[in-house]
Structures are given as structure tokens and as C-alpha cells.
Chains A and B, each alone.
Chain A
Amino acid sequence: MSFGDWVSQGENIVFLVIALAMVVAGGFVVLSRNVVHAALMLVVALGGSAVLFILLGAEFVGWTVVLVYIGAVVILFLFGIMITRAPIGRDSARLDHRRRWPAAVIALATFVTIVWSTTAFFGDEQIPEGVTRAADLGDSLFNRFVIPFEAVSFVLLAALIGGIVLARRDPEEGEE
């Protein structure tokens, strides 16, 4: 399939715009000199992934990303940035290591390896149209995947208790 054929499908134009926005936002997340900007750019990247999920017919997953990631996780990150007093200024030297080239080489090598090993098999395989309704998802979640679902709920409970225990100031220790 040539690039012209690919672009002539309307949804691919949407994909291209969203993907471009996601990659630029992801670049900001890892390169930005401002911690708060990095956290806010993560919102753009995750919002783009939510749009892609809806484009793929996974509407429930898309809205879950919006609720959980953008609604909770990024807010948590902003709180973390405020509490740990991360350097909010434009002081790039304190945010990054000086040795950037090895990291860039590793990232590039990972990209080439993943693309080379995954895309070779699929060629021009189309993704079939179709919507996974939330009802179907819930049906499968509570029948076939009920054990993993319970395990995940246990993980969340453990994370809740662990977060409280870790972040709480010990009263016996007092102020040191």
C-alpha cells in the first residue's frame, strides 16, 4: 500500500495528526526544562492515546484513560512536583544527566529493534472495523478475567495502604 492510498482514508489523517501531536508532546515530556510543562505535556500525549483508542473502537478503554490518567495520575504528579520542590525553573543542568548521547543511542537502537521485529510480519494488514462495547468488556471482565480482576483490585488496595504507610509521618519518631 502506497502512502497516497494510506492517506486517502479519512481516519488515517486523524491518526496522523494525533500521532504527530503525541510524539511532539512525548518529546516535550522527556526534553522539557520545566517540570510542570513536562507533566502537562504528558496530558497531551495520554489524551492523544485516548483519541486513538476511540478511533480503534475501544471507547471504554479510551474514557478510562481520560479518567484515570488525566484525571488522577497527572494530578498526583503535579502534587509530587509541588511537594518535593522539584526545580521548577529553566535550569536544565539540574534536570538531566550530562551524558545524553549513550541514552539517545540506546533509545534509537530500541526503536529500530522494535520496529524491525514487529512491523515485518504484518505488512498491509488492515484493522477491521468494529466497536467493543462497554457491556461486552464488562461481560468478559467478570467472566473470563474475574481472577485477574480480583488480583488487580488487591494490588490497588495494597498500593492504597502502602502509599498511606509510606507517606505518613511516624508519630513516635517525632521531629528530627
Chain B
Amino acid sequence: MDMPESGTPKDLRARAATIRSVAKTLDAAKLLDLHRRAGADVWLGPTPTLCHDNLVQMRSVITGAVSDLRSAARNLELRADQLAQTQVSVPG
């Protein structure tokens, strides 16, 4: 997914849409449920416990990434709106 090079409001909104799409994909990522498959019904011990805890941490890293991406998309949309408003108020 390549970034459009131009900086028009339309381009900015396209970039935001792309980022939102990635966020949406991540929101349903298989990793988010992976820790459930690594519980005490599958294995036990110090290393399995570490792995399970690690997977839980990864889950929060991914949800953090989703949040980062949505925030980035929102900023782009805001910039697009501001740019469009500027173009309307300064005709020609």
C-alpha cells in the first residue's frame, strides 16, 4: 500500500483510509487470541508461563498499535478537513 504523493485533501483522506484499513485488520488479528491457546490446559511450567505472559504482552502491544494507527488516521483526516476549509475560503 503505497502512500499517495500529493497533499490534497483527497490524498490525505486516502492515506487515512489506508491506515484505518490496516488498523481494522490488526483489530481482528489472530495474535489477539493466541494467549488463550497457550494456557495451563496445554502446558505448564516456568517457560510456558513466561510464554503465556509474553503473548498477553504482545496482545497489548498490538492493541496499542491499532490505537496508534487510528490516531494517525484521525490526524490525517483533520488535516484534510482544515486544508479543504482553507481552499474554500481562499478562492482561485
The finding on whether chains A and B are genuine partners in a shared complex, rather than unrelated, reads no
Chain B residues proximal to chain A, CB less than 8 Å: none
Chain A residues proximal to chain B, CB less than 8 Å: none
